[in-house]
Structure formats: structure tokens, C-alpha cells
Chains A and B, each alone.
Chain A
Amino acid sequence: MSTRRQLAVLAAALAIVATSGSAALAQKKYDTGATDTEIKVGNIMPYSGPASAYGVIGRTEAAYFKMINDQGGINGRKINFISYDDNYSPPKTVEQARKLVESDEVLLVFNSLGTPPNTAIQKYMNQKKVPQLFVATGATKWNDPQNFPWTMGWQPNYQSETIIYARYILKNHPNAKIAVLYQNDDYGKDYLKGLKDGLGAKAASMIVAEDSYEVSEPTIDSHIVRLKATGADVFINITTPKFAAQAIKKNAELGWKPLHFLNNVSGSIGSVIKPAGFENAQDIISSQYFKDPTDAQWKTDKAMIAWNEFLDKYYPEANRADASVMYAYIVSQGLVHVLKACGDNLTRENIMKQAASIRDYEPLGLLPGVKVNTSPTDFAPLSQLQLIRFKGETWERFGEVLSGDVGG
């Protein structure tokens, strides 16, 4: 080939590239972190430190996105999932968030975990106009599109859960004497507030005992003894898994049989009910929005089969009794749903727009009847719960799917 011919070919090639490039530019819109081949998604998790048990959420998400990439990605783009450890310490979260946004240049931060860490970066993310999407905390304040249009929650918030319990108590046990045990932190106090709001004017007279414990306490037995002594006939158990199991066991030992409400944080059969003993947990009332993988009734369920197949291939060492694995599986589908909806317009603004216009979306793993819904004024994707009662060795659903929407 002569040099002249080569040049001509090169020029032709360049012309083709140039025209196709400009044509593509007309339809495709990108912000930092998105290209034709890749979408950079940031994430912050407590892989170490006091809340490290939740680190499994980040690992499951990484595995899920690997599966999505192996299947060809989202509209041909691979997800580059960058997840950092913040030790559950807010100053470290700020450092990691800034690293993701300014150094790694991610398109969005997805499912960062914990109320204090997310509070620490909320202002920054909104100033930078980078989506802080589907945060992994049940605090009520994430549903505040007016002041924080770049932050969106995900799971039903803590307050709506206890509001649902309060309504149930007011309807079925109007003369109850209520004892509350809660963890002394943001999560426990949010639940307590929901309970009091739900009971309304009767809160002062109905709640006969309030007791709190610190996460650092080895056992909560003495708190249970104290609560029993108040003669309460309803027990609201706002505790994390380890303590929930202790409470259920101790109740049985003491022969205290109040109407027992267990917050859904600790609803796992595998990690709470079974260690506490099935016989001790009969008739406990709780609520759920996704399927407990350790519950035998879902064994042949379509979602559960898909979940197991995913774990077999991409995360075989996962503890399948851990509800966090299911949680992460569902929220990852949520992100994929939003990114797919964005099409070729991968701007941060469009991501928030698509995230705020989800209609009756049902990712695999949610309970029948529970749906994801958002709108420009509703930044709480999941807000429905199903009341459940423990019978035999499984949770029985009763009543309708309830909604306890509260704003931030």
C-alpha cells in the first residue's frame, strides 16, 4: 500500500469516527464517572470496626455487580464498584466520600451504611450534587427531597415500623401496659419516637417502663428482670440480633409472657429465633418486607431459587442465614433498575430523576404485595410492611400489607 493510499484510508476512517462520534454525542449524555463502557459506583461500608457485621452487604453487592457485568452489564456498560471501609467512624466516612467523589470520580455513591456516617456526608454530597442513593439506614430523615434533593433512603424507616405496632396495640389492646427496651443510639431512639408518635396522647399513660442498653454491654438480662417487675403486659423489643436472642431467652426463663413485639432488624430466624429456641419465640409479633431466607416456607420460591443460584456462583462463602445478604441482593437490583431506566443519559441529575420515578417495582426477594414506589416528593422507596407472627418454626403473615409513611 502506498503512503498516499494509507493516508486516504486513515482520513476516511477518521471521518467515520468523527461522524459516528458526533451522532453518539447527540443522544448520549454523561457526567463524571460514566462512559460508553463503564459506570463508576462508589460505596462506603464498615468492613472493620464495631459495625463490621454489616460489611457483608458491601461484599454481596460487589458479587451482584460482578454477575451483572458477566451478563453484559447495563446497556453495554460495566459497573465499576468501588467500595471503601470507613470503620463506622464519621470522620473517616467524610474522607472516603471525598476520595470517591474527587479522586476516583464516581458517578454516584450507592448504599453507604449507617446513620452517623451518612449524616456526616449528606451536606457534602448535596453541595457537590452527587447522588447519595439508597442509603443503608432506616432513619427517617433521608426522605427530605426539599432540603436534600441528592439523598435518597431505601428501606422502610424505623419510625414507620413502630407506628404500625402502636396502631395495632391501640386497636387490639387499648388498655395495655407497655414496657420498652431499646438500644441507646440513633436507631433505638428513632424507633422509640415512632412508638410514642403512634400512641399519640396515650403514650404517657400506656408506656410504663422505658429502659435502654449500650451496645457494649455483654448481656441485657438485668434489663429484662427490671422490665418484668413493672408488671407490663406488652413488651416492645428494640434490639439488635444478639440482644434480641438474649431477651427472648430470658423472657422464657423468667416465665414472663407479655405480648412481644420484636423489631424487624432482628426478625431473622437463623440468627435470632433459632438460637433463642423456637419454643420460646411462639406468638412473637414482628414485621417484614423481604423474604427471610431461613424461613422454610420460601424454600421453593422463585426469588429464593434465583438468590441461591447467584450466591452459588458469585458468593459461595456467604452465610445464607444472614438477612443482610438478602437485603443487599434486593437493593442492588434497585440500583440496576435505576441505571437501566437512565438509558444513555447518565447524568447525575437524570439518575435522581429516574430514582424518583419508580412505579410499583418488585425486585426479587420482597414479600408479596410490597412494592418500590417513589416520586419527586417521596424519597422513601420502601414504606410498606407486613405484620407477622411466629408459629411453630416459621413466620406467619397476618393482616394486610401496611404503610406507615412518615416524612423526614
Chain B
Amino acid sequence: MSAAAEEVVTEAPAVEAVPKRAMTLGYGTSLVVLAALVIIPLLVKNFIIFQMTMLLIYGLAVLALNILTGGSGQFSLGQSAFYAVGAYTSAILMEHVGMNYALTLPIAGVICFGFGFLFGQPALRLSGVYLALATFALATAMPQLLKLGYFEHWTGGVQGLVVTKPDAPFGLPMSQDMWLYYFTLAITIAIYVASVNLLRSRSGRAFMAIRDNEIAASAMGVDVALYKTLAFGVSAGITGVAGGLGAIAVQFVAPDGYTIQLAISLFLGMVVGGVGWLPGSIVGSAFIIFVPNIAEGISKGLSGAVFGVLLFLVIFLVPHGARQVAIVAQQLAAKLKKN
């Protein structure tokens, strides 16, 4: 192999270095967003609450990918596989073992963490597009694995599993949808805060060092192999929790729900939200949930094409996604203050 080719393989993936300060929102903005998330459900229909729950769930999954790609600079098109494992873990534990839904989530997270960590091992030898392809294979294989006759007793095979939706506990006077929303919101906030802290910690700095320059990171004493697999594990674990929540919210798991399309959607959500900008995850999630609906509203026959055009516009006008919009808004606000 020539030196040039070698360099292509080992070169760090083209993820822009995002300083860790720029990864989060200021306190004021955070509080406004939080207040909105808490208050809006009290004013809208159950259907909207359900959509907002899905928004948070996909937001979590996008956040997980953001930690992996934005944090440690590794690409993954296999997030749907982790999402599926989490969803199935929750569904199987709830329906076959009769476990409480809340308890199934940490288990789904731990199993997915293990799964992701193990998958990270061989993935160590790959980087950039090659890693993306390996994870792509995982996403393609997952629906078929779920259909295997060997697991059918638990997974329900192609028919999937129907999950019972939990009622609000302690006789709280709220609908199932609203309870599930606040439950999801609490978990989302917990994971978001933990993720922010993770990226600000020693491990987070190690992730970012690897992202920015692998060789330099190892020269500084960062255990590159460990931290790369760890990033995979954490990302998979969070995705698993999101998957478990998704199964509970949708009340159904089936192989067809977790195809490569989901993985691509999550990837898209990350790019639209801004790679490496954690609050953008929720914007990305909104994009992948609502824009297809808008596209369908514009043209039923060409909904795919309309979606493509909208996506193209976003990438063309704001290549750094929601982060760019936020920065511009911030600058404008600062200007106004000066005046």
C-alpha cells in the first residue's frame, strides 16, 4: 500500500472541532426551553403530546449519535440496530417477564451498552467511511436477526410484539399519554445533563482529543482503544434507552420499524441539528418527525422528492445546522443589546 493510501485510512474523520463550551446552551435559554417543554403538554391534545413524546425519544437517539460523532469523531449508520435492541429488550421484559416498564429501561441501556462496547472492539480498526459502512451492515442485518425463527418465541418474529401502555402511577389525574410524556421528559433531562457532564469530564476531553487528532491524543496518554469503544458503548446505551421508551410509547415493536431508514433518519437529525451541538438534537429530531409530514402535505406523490429538496435547502443554507442558526441569533441579540 502506498503512503498516500495509508494516510487516507488513518486520517481523522472530517468532523469539525467543536469546543466543549460551544456544545451546550446558556442557563437562561435552557430554562426557557425546559419551561416550554413542561408547560406545552398541559395546553394541547393527546395526539400532540404523543408527537412531543416521540420528539423527545428521537431527540435522545440523536443525542446519543451526537456524543459518538460530535464527541469522539466516529461515524455510525447502525444506530437503528441499538435502538431495536433497546426496544425489544423493554418489550420482551414487559410482555414475557411482566416487569415494570420503568425497570426495563436501565436494563435496555445496560444491554445496549454491552452490545455497543463489544461492537466497538472490531470497529477500532476502522475509521471514517469504513466504520460507517461496518455499522451500516449492522443496521441492515438487525431486522433479519429479529425475524430469525430461533428467537421467534420471544420476539414474536415478523408479527412483532404488542406492548401495554402504562397508566399514571399513584392515581395521578393525567392521561396515559401525558404521564408517559413527563416520564420521558424526566429521563431525557437526566440523560442530557449526564451527557453534558460526561463531555466536560476527563473522559469527554479524551473523546474530543481523539476526535481532533488520534495520534496526538495517544501521545498525551489517552487510551485510544478504550475511549473509542467507550464512546460506542455510551452512545449505544443511550440509544437503547430511547428504543425502550419508543417501544412503550408506540406500544408495538416489529422488525419493520427498525430498518436502515431509521438509522439514516437519526444521522440526518444529527447533521440538521448541528454535529457536536447537543441541544441541536431536539431540533434534528423535530426535523425528522415533522418535515416528512410537511412534505406529504405539499405533495403526496412526490413527498420523498419534496423532503429531499427541503433537506438540500437546509444543508445548503445552514451547513452547520441548528447550531449555526443559534449562533447567528445570539450575535443578533448581542447587537441589539449594544444598541
Contacts and interface: CB of A to CB of B under 8 A. Distances in A.
Interface of A: 47-50, 83-85, 87-91, 94-95, 98-99, 101-103, 115-116, 119-120, 122-124, 184-186, 189, 214, 216
B54 A88 contact: no
Interface stretch (B20-28, B246-254, B314-322): B246-254
Contacts of A89: 256-257, 259, 261-262
B205 interface: no
B182 interface: no
A46 to B, nearest CB: 10
Contact of A186 (B48, B51, B158, B251): B158
Interface in B210-266: 246, 250-252, 254-257, 259, 261-262
Nearest to A91: B250
B159 A186 contact: yes
Contact of A119 (B147, B252, B261): B252
8 contacts: A48-B303, A90-B256, A91-B246, A94-B250, A103-B48, A185-B158, A186-B157, A214-B144
Interface in B156-173: 157-160, 162
B50 A98 contact: yes
Contacts of B47: 98-99, 101-103
Contacts of A123: 162, 251-252
Nearest to B156: A119
B50 A116 contact: no
Nearest to A103: B47
A116 B296 contact: no
- Kindly list the 4 A-B residue pairs having the minimum CB-CB distance in the complex, ordered from nearest: A102-B47, A120-B252, A186-B158, A116-B254
Given A47-B303, A102-B45, A184-B147, A120 B54 contact: no
Given A90-B160, A95-B54, 16 more contacts: A48-B303, A84-B296, A87-B261, A87-B292, A89-B256, A89-B257, A91-B257, A95-B51, A115-B159, A116-B160, A116-B254, A120-B254, A120-B257, A123-B252, A184-B158, A185-B158
A90 B301 contact: no
B160 A119 contact: yes
B74 to A, nearest CB: 26
Q: Is the interface of A mostly helix, strand, loop or mixed?
A: helix
Nearest to A139: B159
B304 interface: yes
Contact of B157 (A48, A83, A189, A214): A189
Nearest to B58: A91
Contacts of B46: 98, 102
Contacts of B153: none
Contacts of A90: 160, 250, 252, 254, 256-257
B338 interface: no
Contacts of A186: 157-159
A116 B251 contact: no
Contacts of B48: 103
Contacts of A103: 45, 47-48
**Which of B251, B261, B292, B304 has the largest number of chain A CB atoms within 10 A?**
B251
B300 interface: yes
A119 B303 contact: no
Main secondary structure of the interface of B (DSSP, over half): helix
Nearest to A189: B158
A189 B46 CA distance: 36
Contacts of B45: 102-103
Contacts of A85: 292, 296, 300, 303
Interface of B: 45-48, 50-51, 54, 140, 144, 147, 157-160, 162, 246, 250-252, 254-257, 259, 261-262, 289, 292, 296, 300-301, 303-304
A222 B132 CA distance: 30
B225 to A, nearest CB: 34
B251 A94 contact: yes
A119 B254 contact: yes
Contacts of B256: 88-90, 116
Contacts of B250: 90-91, 94, 120
B251 A119 contact: no
B252 A94 contact: yes
A116 B261 contact: no
A49 B261 contact: yes
Contacts of B157: 186, 189
B65 to A, nearest CB: 18
Nearest to B300: A47
B21 to A, nearest CB: 36
Contacts of B296: 47, 84-85
Contacts of A116: 158-160, 254-257
A120 B255 CA distance: 12
Contacts of B252: 90-91, 94, 119-120, 123
Contacts of B147: 184-185
Contacts of A124: 251
Nearest to B177: A98
A186 B158 CA distance: 5
B162 A119 contact: yes
Contacts of A50: 259
Contacts of B162: 119, 122-123
Nearest to A96: B293
A315 B171 CA distance: 54
Nearest to A48: B304
Most A CB contacts (10 A, CB to CB) among B45, B162, B296 go to B296
Nearest to A141: B159
A49 B265 CA distance: 13
Contacts of A48: 303-304
A91 B257 CA distance: 6
B258 to A, nearest CB: 9
Contacts of B262: 89
B181 to A, nearest CB: 13
A119 B159 contact: yes
A61 B262 CA distance: 29
B251 A120 contact: yes
Which one of A91, A99, A189 has the highest number of Cβ atoms from chain B below 10 Å of its Cβ? A91
A65 B83 CA distance: 40
Nearest to B87: A91
A39 B308 CA distance: 34
A103 B293 CA distance: 14
A126 B293 CA distance: 25
A95 B296 CA distance: 14
Nearest to B246: A91
